[in-house]
Amino acid sequence: MKVSACSYRPILVPCSLKNHDYQIDPYVGCEHSCHYCYVLNQAETDWSEEVLIHKDIAGQLNGELENVSPQTIYLGYYTDPYQPCEAEYRQTRQVLELLLEKCFSVSILTKSDLIVRDMDILREMDHASVSVSVAFNDNRIRQKFEADTIDTEARIRALQKLREAGVQTSALICPVIPYITDVTPFIETLAPYTNTIWIYGLSIEDRSGRNWQNVQGILQTHFPDLKEQIESILFAKEHSYWTELRQQLTELKNDRKSDLRIHL
Ligand code: SF4
């Protein structure tokens, strides 16, 4: 993997998520190369070959935080902060060290167990929280949709370690791909390690995007019998597949009195 410096750009940027004013993406691009990724459509490099880093992430961020009061910052919107090259380049670790020093906290979303390395910092922060995302019950299928992520089981073990260390956790079942992602078994598996589980369907804006071109190719090659059905569900404004799944999950939520956040 080639890692190069990106052109100068702000590191601390406004965040559109509820409860977060700012986000930080320690990398530009993402080595995980999920074929369905919504950021792919604006990728600056071929992520399977090259990702970009900020020249002096801690120095620049230190300046950008000068007039910002301590608060919780979101990490993981446009990139995975714990993609494989973080083990060597430690961009995320540098950000966390600085944020801790300045009394900030973080909400992190990742698909990687490398986050366990930074539990020492997360435990020191007030209200740090980590969300781990999973989507594929079968790792052979995962490899078709996510070129370079770790096994689902390893992610769940990371969630367990975080929870045991006293870090606030949640999980994402995302993206739910019709007929491919089996949501209910995931809820059973994740429940011991988190109180909150968010569930999101695969979102593809339009057929011209690179993510749809990728997904379409995977479906054509590996799931030819399901391709048309899945495509019609993904591009319908509302579809009975989602209505029924929503209903089933709502019943499960009520029965178990669990904190399922259903966004399907
Ligand atoms: S881990 Fe997230 S940011 Fe990275 S490629 Fe996958 S979906 Fe995109």
Domains plus CATH for the chain?
A: 2-263 (3.20.20)
Mean pLDDT for 76-105 is: 98
Q: Mutate which of 1, 23, 28, 34 to test ligand 1's pocket (most atoms within 8 Å of Cβ)? A: 34
Question: Is 129's C-beta closer than 6 angstroms to any atom of ligand 1?
Answer: no
The pLDDT mean for the chain works out to: 96
The per-residue pLDDT for 259 is: 96
Judge whether residue 25 has pLDDT over 90: yes
The per-residue pLDDT for 237 is: 84
The per-residue pLDDT for 147 is: 84
Span 143-174, pLDDT tens digits: 999 989 999 999 999 999 999 999 999 999 99
Which band of pLDDT confidence, cut at 50, 70 and 90, is reported for residue 113? very high
Mean pLDDT for 128-135 is: 98
Q: For residue 81, is the peptide bond before it cis, meaning its omega torsion is within 30 degrees of 0?
A: no
Phi and psi at residue 113, in whole multiples of 5°? -85, 0
Span 217-249, pLDDT tens digits: 999 999 999 999 999 999 998 999 999 999 999
| Residue found by looking up tokens 């020093």 in the block | 101
Closest atom, ligand 1, to C-alpha of 76: 3
Residue nearest ligand 1's atom 3 by CA: 79
Alpha carbon distances (Å) from 245 to 39, 123, 178, 196, 208 = 26, 36, 10, 18, 27
Span 169-189, pLDDT tens digits: 999 999 999 999 999 999 999
Percent of the chain at pLDDT > 90 equals 97
Nearest partner of 235 among 258, 222, 219, 251, judged by Cα: 219
Cα(1) to centroid of ligand 1, in Å? 16
Question: Is 39's C-beta closer than 6 angstroms to any atom of ligand 1?
Answer: yes
Q: Tokens at residue 253, please?
A: 């939520």
Contact of 13 with 63, CB cutoff 8 Å: no
Judge whether residue 195 has pLDDT over 90: no
Span 31-40, pLDDT tens digits: 999 999 999 9
Cα(49) to centroid of ligand 1, in Å? 15
Span 39-66, pLDDT tens digits: 999 999 999 999 999 999 999 999 999 9
Judge whether residue 194 has pLDDT over 90: yes
Judge whether residue 139 has pLDDT over 90: yes
Judge whether residue 74 has pLDDT over 90: yes
Which band of pLDDT confidence, cut at 50, 70 and 90, is reported for residue 3? very high
